[in-house]
Amino acid sequence: MTERLILRKADFFASASQPVAVEVRYPQSVFAQHTHDFCELVLVWRGNGLHVLNDRPWRITRGDLFYIRARDRHGYAAVNDLVLQNILYCPERLTFNVDWAALLPGLRDGPFQPNWRLSSQGMTMARQLITQLEQESNKREPLADCLCEALFLQLAIVLQRHRYAADSAVALPESGVLDALIAALANSRDKPFALEPFCLQHQCSERALRQQFRNQTGMTIGHYLRQLRICHAQYLLQHSDLLIGEVATRCGFEDSNYFSVVFTREAGMTPSQWRQHSGEPPQETAMPAADIAVR
């Protein structure tokens, strides 16, 4: 049985009153699944990787946004030049009289949507606020905590205004063609996708778009779509009783034998082995501060 790491506030926050801290990952390395005693926002700026959240794998790349609760378990695998920022926050230390639960999914009890996409305009605005937030969180002044909370409030509003559902058929109107392409791919997990008509619709060069996609994500368009489908298959195998052939169909594979070949190559085990292997609950253990510093 594997152990579950627990990250503690004392190792990431400068004081017992600091409400927000910033952790930058340039790049984010493979990191075992863990929980925290604080909450977290994850914003992905470049590259790609596998983000496993509560046993569900998500193929992530530029523009992905996650809201992580303290009790959630998550980690990173199969990373490729993955650059992200973690905004850590303690809800009990937020003092402003605003409806934080309306701005930060997951603060209220009950189901919520943890994964979103952020438009290009939203990413630009968020970067500016996070830069200021990081600077203020490193200061030891009486007003620093207050200004950190003010910047965090602005960031929460920007994220809410410029985010859209990760599996949405279309991105926000303010988004660029790359965002629209990623949204279209996310909506094509169970059906064919053709790049040529997409480029005609958006009046862009197919060759230039392929190059832009690879530069920003580190993957080809075909590889990214295949990874989306395999991640969805992993989730269905673990959380449903569908036959493997039915899982293949729901993940855009017409031939179940070909699906098994691709799945085995990407996941390192057959669909049947994945179904049998997944779901083992981990033990919990605190993570030593020395290990946190170099993760």
CATH of 3-166+281-293 among 1.10.10.10, 2.40.40.20, 2.60.120.200, 2.60.120.280: 2.60.120.280
pTM score: 0.84
Residue in 170, 240, 273 with CA at minimum distance from that of residue 249: 240
Contacts of 34 (CB under 8 A, 6+ apart): 4, 5, 6, 7, 73, 74, 75, 287
Q: Are 78 and 84 in contact (CB under 8 A)?
A: no
pLDDT in tens, 151-181: 999 999 999 999 998 877 677 777 788 888 9
By DSSP bridging, strand 283-286 and strand 56-61 are: unpaired
The DSSP letter of residue 81 is E
pLDDT at 279: 53
* Boundaries of every domain in the chain: 3-166+281-293, 177-277
pLDDT at 290: 36
pLDDT in tens, 257-294: 999 999 999 888 999 999 988 754 444 444 443 344 32
Residue in 56, 60, 103 with CA at minimum distance from that of residue 279: 56
For residues 262 and 1, the model is more confident at 262
Question: Exposed (0-12), middle (13-18) or buried (19+): which is 20, by Cβ within 10 Å?
Answer: buried
pLDDT in tens, 216-227: 888 899 999 999
**In the CATH hierarchy, which fold is given to the domain comprising 177-277?**
Arc Repressor Mutant, subunit A (1.10.10)
pLDDT at 3: 57
pLDDT at 113: 94
pLDDT in tens, 20-70: 999 988 777 888 899 999 999 999 999 999 999 998 999 999 999 999 999
Which tokens is 132 given?
A: 């200021």
Poorest-confidence range of 14-23, 113-122, 197-206, 277-286? 277-286
pLDDT at 169: 67
pLDDT at 289: 39
Residue in 211, 219, 222, 213 with CA at minimum distance from that of residue 252: 222
For residues 115-129, give the mean pLDDT: 94
pLDDT in tens, 206-250: 999 999 999 888 889 999 999 999 999 999 998 899 999 999 999
